[in-house]
Structure 1
Amino acid sequence: MISTVLQAVGLFVATNIDDIIVISLFFARGAGQRHLTAKITAGQYFGFAGILAVAVLIALGAGAFLPVEAIPYFGLVPLVLGLRAAWSSWREYRDNDGDDDSDGDSATGKGSGNAVGVLGVAGVTFANGGDNIGVYVPVFVNISHTAIAAYCVVFLILVGALVYIARFVATRRSIAEILEQWESVLFPLVLITLGVVILVSGGAFGL
């Protein structure tokens, strides 16, 4: 069992370490928003639970319900969210026109268009899990049902740790200052890039 747990930890780290950047940007995006940590955590859990559900179903032979070929199209989720964030940032910049005397929300870049929601986080998390599913399925196929359950439990525990690490990174003074200054550019850029990479690498739309 200890060996299974260690293998699960290693697999989780290998497939999710890059999520720290995305989650940190969510923290920067919603800075000052009430219950932000709870929303990001809930969204991360919902999204990752979806990843696990798909991986387990495919591994158990129920892949017909969600063919592997359909997974790359989930790249449309971060792509659309990124385009929406870019449009929101551009409108905010245009409306403020660089005026430092704007109201508090606009001056800090935390207007309603920048709100971070559970579903948005969940959608990005799930869409970014295509590679995870591709790695988890062959592992789950070759282990017992008990081991699959153990992997899932370990993964879900580590999701909370991942959010905590991302929050820690995003709240370090030097990093927070950079994220606050460039969040309006980095957030949509990262999501759009993520969406395009998922679509292209998965061969969606014949790309």
Structure 2
Amino acid sequence: MVPLALGVRGLIKAIRAKDSDDQPPSAVACGLFSVASVTVANGADNISVYTPTFRTIGVSATLITVAVFAVLVALWCLIGTLLGSHKKITEFVERYTFSELRMRTAHSSASADRAPAMLG
């Protein structure tokens, strides 16, 4: 329920920010409590599914399952490494990351310039 609640809260904040022309909030969990809550909530569903499964399938099937999981995680890591080091992908990410950063910086400075006028 915690990830769902965090997602709904983020959606509401994004909709409110869109209506008021403010910068949309970051979709990153900030702070120790948020990160810990998401981690526990994400791991709890795995424990609730895999504990009964491993309990009922036996030792040999559990070892095979763990081995397959390890191989597939290694495959995901290999794919991530290959994609993350591919020249065209890194150029694409860098181009859009820097343009996003410039847009955020321009928006922040424009908001800072408007703030004193609104107060005075």
Same fold by TM-score greater than 0.5: no
TM-score normalised by the chain length of structure 2? 0.39
Q: Which has the larger radius of gyration?
A: 2
TM-score normalised by the chain length of structure 1? 0.25
Report which structure shows greater RCO (CA 8 Å, sep ≥6).
Answer: 1
Q: Which structure shows the bigger proportion of residues in helix conformation?
A: 2
